[in-house]
């Protein structure tokens, strides 16, 4: 089974799965075949955000684990760092998520990292003419070039929010207003749509409003076609032999 962990968007980027394994092992020792890996991931996502200073929300439980995964499906349904705004909007709409959900959920990029290969084009060849992305603050771009050269070092990691990289706050939006969004797919929220631009400015000025909408939107996302009842299974081990969840 090839999992979406190996998709272009996640490979060598999504990490920390050994923590999931440890939690799942402890759960199985106390209460075997009761808490699914899907519920565990949903709970860990919530608690990780709370630990980093973000909002809390009630996690709906009762999910079951899928018996199969789709690498190709994840490649098709996870936006790339170079996706256009319309492409991202369409992907979210297909999952029942609207523009407000999109902007709020992308605010999760206030923590986390991206690899050099995910934004190199903005630094050196944005339009195919060996040019730099003009929607990227030039001082910030020069700083990024120090660790992300024109070739090599593809896996070098950079904070999505360079100001408060380990704190869940609204600096993601403040950075976009200052043209310091790391990924093109982030900065376009401020440069390609007046509607999303207004949301970005609003959340940049009102962290409480961002937190409130984020909590609503992530609950909505967590309710996208869950397996329940007798569908799927409850795995005893989240990580497969081939190291895929």
Q: Is 165 annotated as a binding residue?
A: no
Other CB atoms closer than 10 Å to residue 48's CB: what's the count?
14
Entry field: residues in the chain: 245
Tell me the C-alpha distance between 227 and 229, whole Å: 7
- Does 39 appear as a known binding residue? no
Tell me, rounded to whole angstroms, the distance of Cα 125 from its chain centroid: 25
Tokens of 31: 């209460």
Q: Is the dihedral of CA 72, 77, 82, 86 positive or negative?
A: positive
243 assigned to a ligand binding site: no
| Torsion angle defined by CA atoms of residues 13, 124, 199 and 54, in that order, rounded to the nearest 10 degrees | 30
C-alpha closest to that of 138 among 185, 178, 82 = 178
CA distance 135 to 175: 12
Annotation-wise, does 55 bind a ligand? no
Determine if residue 65 is labeled as part of a ligand binding site.
no
- CA proximity to 185, closest of 76, 127, 102, 241: 102
Phi, psi of 115 (to 5 degrees): -80, 155
- Answer left, alpha or beta for residue 172, where phi above 0 means left and psi between -120 and 50 means alpha: alpha
Residue from 35, 78, 81 nearest 59 by CA: 35
Q: Which residues are annotated as a binding site?
A: 4, 79, 109-110, 161, 164, 169
Q: Which residues are annotated as a binding site for substrate?
A: 79
Q: Which residues are annotated as a binding site for heme b?
A: 109
Q: Which residues are annotated as a binding site for Ca(2+)?
A: 4, 110, 161, 164, 169
């Amino acid at each position: 089974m090839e999992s979406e962990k190996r998709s272009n968007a996640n490979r060598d980027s999504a990490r920390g799965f050994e923590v999931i394994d440890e939690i799942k092992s402890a759960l199985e020792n106390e209460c075997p075949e009761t808490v699914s890996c899907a519920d565990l991931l949903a709970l860990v996502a919530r608690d990780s955000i709370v630990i980093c200073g973000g909002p809390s929300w009630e996690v709906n439980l009762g999910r079951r684990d899928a018996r199969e995964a789709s690498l190709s499906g994840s490649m098709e349904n996870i936006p790339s760092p170079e996706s256009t705004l319309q492409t991202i909007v369409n992907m979210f709409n297909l999952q029942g998520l609207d523009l407000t959900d999109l902007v709020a959920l992308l605010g999760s990029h206030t923590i986390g990292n991206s690899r050099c290969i995910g934004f190199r084009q903005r630094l050196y060849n944005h339009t195919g003419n060996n040019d730099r992305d003009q929607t990227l603050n030039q001082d910030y771009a020069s700083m990024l070039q120090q660790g992300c050269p024109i070739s090599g070092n593809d896996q070098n990691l950079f904070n999505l929010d360079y100001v408060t990289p380990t704190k869940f706050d609204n600096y993601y939006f403040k950075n976009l207003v200052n043209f310091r969004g790391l990924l093109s797919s982030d900065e376009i929220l401020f440069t390609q749509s007046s509607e999303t631009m207004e949301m970005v400015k609003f959340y940049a000025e009102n962290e409480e409003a961002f937190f409130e909408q984020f909590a609503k939107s992530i609950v909505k996302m967590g309710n996208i076609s869950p397996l329940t009842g007798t569908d799927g299974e409850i795995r005893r081990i989240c990580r497969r032999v081939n190291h895929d969840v």
